[in-house]
Amino acid sequence: MTTKHVLVTGAGGFIGHHLVNHLVGKGYRVRGADIKRPEYSETEAHEFLVADLRDAGHCAAATDGIDDVYHLAADMGGIGYITGNHAVVARNNTIMNIAMLDAAKDAGVGRFLYSSTACVYPHHLQTSPDAVPLREDDAWPAQPEEGYGLEKLFTEKMCEYYGADHGIGMRVVRFHNVYGPLGTYDGGREKVPAAICRKLAGIADGGEIEIWGDGRQTRSFMYVDDCVEGIHRIMESGYAAPLNLGTDELLTIDELVDIVAETAGKTVRKRHDVSKPQGVRGRNSDNSRLRQVLGWEPSCGFRQGIVPTYAWIAAQVNAGRAPAGRPRALEKAG
Ligand code: NAD
């Protein structure tokens, strides 16, 4: 059997870095591409291209000789970052996604997996903490997260069109909050589990941390090992329509804080700041279709996955590592 050549974009980022190592372990020949190299640990990719994928020439170099593309690169971050940078985020991702689809078509790529997000789901279905789990079909009629979510929903449709018109085997995966070691934990792009781990690692027992919102907003969280396993299974599934990839273990943010505090062996005082962005009120994943398509779903509970995550972030904080030196916002094209 000949070795498949695969491209992982966003290979310098959190999920992409883990995915590269997972695919290398499975015997693929892996090329990583990103505007920056991984910040916290060396890549295992056979080749790593430092490339700005808003540039068509860089996309052509990245896709040359590639069988399958896992397109994870995106200008993204936690709720503060994506709600504070609508224009830059939507612009960067639109340019990059169209350039990548064109390059995949021109290079004769067989399969293309696009990393979408639960932020595509309509606001009006997410107004209560008792979130009714979101089914794939709920995305339309649309009322997604401004900027980041709207762009993802548009690119989902572009994937459908490129698949139909150009014969590329498309996969569209809607991730629900992913966490784990080697993820951004400071600098403004971190997401809630990493931010809470960092805050708890930085206080003494009995100390106080700030929590965005009233703490009663809800989410589900997926450990990164489940995420990369799911990504590969979806690529192999032959299923072209959007699929949720997440857990359906719903937690309030206060419950999440309590679990991290328990993991850290600390008691904590919570100071809620309702002036800070908190996103939708409640969001959960309906995994019925995922189970139907794959006969599998993520299984790592938050209490289990947060143990290695907290240990890694606490080690970074205790070692006094400088804030992640990534570009704040990718403002210039080319
Ligand atoms: P990340 O920010 O760690 O990784 C994204 C990577 O894309 C970064 O390394 C960044 O440098 C790279 N990138 C951005 N602009 C680029 C450009 N112009 N050219 C080349 N590379 C560029 O994020 P992540 O958490 O690993 O997310 C990966 C994918 O999953 C993204 O598409 C994201 O939208 C999606 N997603 C993630 C989550 C989550 O909880 N982490 C949830 C939903 C969706």
* Per-residue pLDDT tens digits for 158-171: 999 999 999 999 99
Architecture of the domain whose range is 179-219+250-283+300-318:
Alpha-Beta Complex (3.90)
Q: Can you give the pLDDT at residue 334? A: 28
* CATH classification (class only), 5-178+223-245: alpha beta
Decide: residue 164, CB within 10 A, 0-12 exposed, 13-18 middle, 19+ buried: exposed
Query: Any idea where the domains of the chain sit in the sequence?
Result: 5-178+223-245, 179-219+250-283+300-318
Choice among 148, 179, 185, 239 that is catalytic: 148
Q: Where are the beta strands (DSSP E) in 227-284?
A: 242-245, 250-252, 269-273
Q: Is 239 a catalytic residue?
A: no
pLDDT confidence of residue 282: 97
**Residue spans of the chain under pLDDT 50:** 323-334
ipTM: 0.99
218 DSSP assignment: E
Residues in the ligand 1 pocket, defined by CB under 6 Å: 10, 12-16, 34-36, 51-54, 72-76, 92, 96, 115, 117, 175, 177-178, 184, 191, 330
Strand partners, 113: 70, 171
The residue to mutate among 19, 36, 72, having the most atoms of ligand 1 within 8 angstroms of its beta carbon, is 72
Write down the pLDDT at residue 2.
Answer: 81
Residue of 265, 278, 264 lying closest to 211 (CA atoms):
278
Q: Spell out the residues 6+ positions from residue 14 whose beta carbon is closer than 8 angstroms to its own.
A: 178, 180, 182, 183, 184, 224
The three-class DSSP label of residue 248 is coil
**What are 27-84's pLDDT values in tens digits?**
999 999 999 999 999 999 999 999 999 999 999 999 999 999 999 999 999 889 999 9
How many angstroms is it from 129 CA to the middle of ligand 1? Answer: 27
How high is the pLDDT of residue 151? 98
